[in-house]
Amino acid sequence: MNENEIKEIKELLSTPKNIVLVAHKNPDGDAIGSTLGMQHYLKQKGHKATTVLPNDVPEFLHWLPGVETVYKYDKQNKQSKRSLDEADIVFVLDFNAFHRVGDDMQKALEEYKGTYIMIDHHQQPDPISKYIYSDTSICSTCQMVYHFIDKMGDLNFINPEVATCLYTGIMTDTGSFRFPSTTSTTHKIIGELIDKGADNAKIHDNVFNASSYSRLQLMGAALTNLIVLPEYHTAYITLSQEELDKYNYQKGDTEGLVNYGLSMKGIYLAAIFIEDVEQGIIKISFRSKGSFSVNQFSRNHFNGGGHDNAAGGRSLISLEATVEEFLNQLKGYKNELAVSYEN
Ligand code: 5GP
Ligand code: MN
């Protein structure tokens, strides 16, 4: 986004507009934090701002301010469609390709004729938006929303609600400020957000200390299923539908499980394969340490993508066959994995 575009957007936002904020399917902390953070900011500026997400917000984020105002495209289809129809501007947040919202909503976004503004930190953005603020070096879309508000000259509009939403997305996308994408700028912004009313201890408590007993049991099953392949510096977890059912799986319960593989010394690639019988897919998450790009790996072999060190994907074959395919593909990356990271 150049200076001229910033000026144009400032001009656009200088009079009250009807604005819709959208994020990707199965929204995570960054997707919901950035849409709701933007919603609270834009409302204070006198705009009508509505968040439309493809599907549900996971339980561990239900406490976020404004969650109750979100339209879910799958369940509140009429309201969602009407909001999009009436929107002067649609902000595309935390995704950069229309297929990331899922089939039904994808069609609606493809048909939308108004002005798109994209703010996103994933690799290889599709040219779907008039204005594109894309930076893959920034840890989270929430941090980019902070920079965007700054570019608009509006940091004084960051109230406790905005601060809470942005803090949450930065925290969840950086693994609580651990990942290499966390910079001194990130920490400075986090400091600002605390000063502007984000209750940091409360936010961590809300997100990380809200597990059900059955979620911990499910984690136990996942860790029991962990397979380590030392020769590939790789560890992976599988969860079958039967196991998910046994432990009363709720949306969000498997969030973060993939990271356990990487918590072992000498492991640079971690994967989790989760069976979803209803959708007829295996949902895959990849995480890596160092130079091995899971974005590229997932794009090449598992219909997905994301970031260099965190990506998602899916497969349409069985859980067993998917794992077999993964093991087969790994063979071609043995040398790359061996030097991905220096312990
Ligand atoms: P997760 O493993 O948590 O689902 O996803 C990890 C990261 O990759 C997230 O930033 C997510 O938005 C992104 N991601 C997940 N699936 C896909 C996909 O199919 N395509 C692309 N481009 N990004 C994805
Ligand atoms: Mn993100």
Q: Are residues 202 and 219 in the same domain?
A: no
Closest to 176 measured CA to CA, from 198, 155, 207: 207
Taking the CA of 33 as reference, the closest ligand is 2
pLDDT at 170: 98
Q: Is residue 293 in a domain?
A: yes
Closest of 95, 30, 18 to residue 64, by C-alpha? 30
Shared-domain flag, residues 179 and 35: yes
Q: What share of the chain has pLDDT > 90, as a percent?
A: 98
Q: Which residues, chain by chain, have CB under 5 Å from ion ligand 2?
A: 30, 94, 141, 173
Return the pLDDT at 342.
Answer: 86
Range of the domain at 309: 213-338
**Averaged pLDDT for residues 195-211:** 97
Tell me how far the alpha carbon of residue 304 lies from the centroid of ligand 1, in angstroms: 7
Measured in Å, residue 3 CA sits from the centre of ligand 1 at 30
Output the pLDDT for position 304.
95
- Which pLDDT does position 252 carry in this prediction? 87
Residue 328, number of CB atoms within 10 A of its CB: 10
Which backbone phi and psi does 160 adopt, to 5 degrees? -55, -35
Shared domain check, 223 and 126: no
Say if residue 246 is in the same domain as residue 331.
yes
Domain closes at, from 208, 233, 264? 208
293 and 311 share one domain: yes
pTM for the whole structure? 0.93
Last-in-domain residue among 208, 237, 272: 208
Decide: 312 in ligand 1 pocket, CB within 6 A: yes
Average pLDDT of the segment spanning 168-189: 97
Is 265 a member of any domain?
yes
State whether 203 and 294 are in the same domain.
no
Which of the listed residues 171, 186, 208 is the one where a domain comes to its end?
208
Residue 119, in any domain of the structure: yes
Is residue 100 located within the same domain as residue 190? yes
The pLDDT of residue 147 is 98
For residue 343, pLDDT beyond 80 = no
What distances in angstroms separate CA 277 from CA 74, 244, 316, one per listed residue? 18, 11, 10
The reply to whether 124 and 13 lie within a common domain is: yes
310 CA to centre of ligand 2 in angstroms: 10
DSSP 288-327: ESTT--HHHHHHHHSS-EE-SSEEEEEESS-HHHHHHHHH
Q: What does the buried/exposed string (b/e) look like for 156-183 if buried means 16 or more CB atoms within 10 Å of the residue's CB?
A: ebbeebbbbbbbbbbbbbbbeeebebbe
Nearest-atom index, ligand 1, CA of 313: 19
Identify whether residues 194 and 246 lie together within a single domain: no
The CB of 311 under 6 Å from ligand 1? The reply is: yes
Q: How confident is the model at residue 223 (pLDDT cuts 50, 70, 90)?
A: very high
pLDDT band at 332 (very low <50, low <70, confident <90, very high): very high
d(CA 246, ligand 2 centre) in Å:
30
CB of 254 shorter than 6 A to ligand 1: no
Q: How many domains does the chain have?
A: 2
Residue whose token pair is 């074959």: 317
Compute the distance from residue 44 Cα to the ligand 1 centre, in Å. 31
Mean pLDDT of 144-168: 98
CATH number of the domain bearing residue 145: 3.90.1640.10
- pLDDT tens across 53-70, in order? 999 999 999 999 999 999
Q: Is residue 280 situated within a structural domain?
A: yes
CA of 257 to the centre of ligand 1 (A): 15
Query: Are 29 and 72 contained in the same domain?
Result: yes
Residues 161 and 220 in one domain: no
- Residue 343: inside a domain, yes or no? no
Could you tell me if 138 and 86 are in contact, meaning their C-beta atoms sit under 8 angstroms apart? Answer: no
Same domain, 44 and 158: yes
pLDDT digits (tens, 9 = 90+) for 84-139: 999 999 999 999 999 999 989 999 999 999 999 999 999 999 999 999 999 999 99
For residue 312, give the CATH number of its domain: 3.10.310.30
How far apart are the C-alpha atoms of 65 and 67, rounded to whole Å? 6
CB 244 within 8 A of CB 274: yes
CA 138/CA 148 separation, integer angstroms? 13
Residue 307 banded pLDDT, cuts 50, 70, 90 = very high
37 domain residue, yes or no: yes
Return mean pLDDT, the chain. 97
Q: Whose CA is nearest to atom 17 of ligand 1?
A: 312
Tell me what percent of the residues of the chain surpass a pLDDT of 70. 100
Which residue out of 100, 142, 259, 295 has the highest number of ligand 1 atoms within 8 Å of its CB and is therefore the one to mutate?
Answer: 100
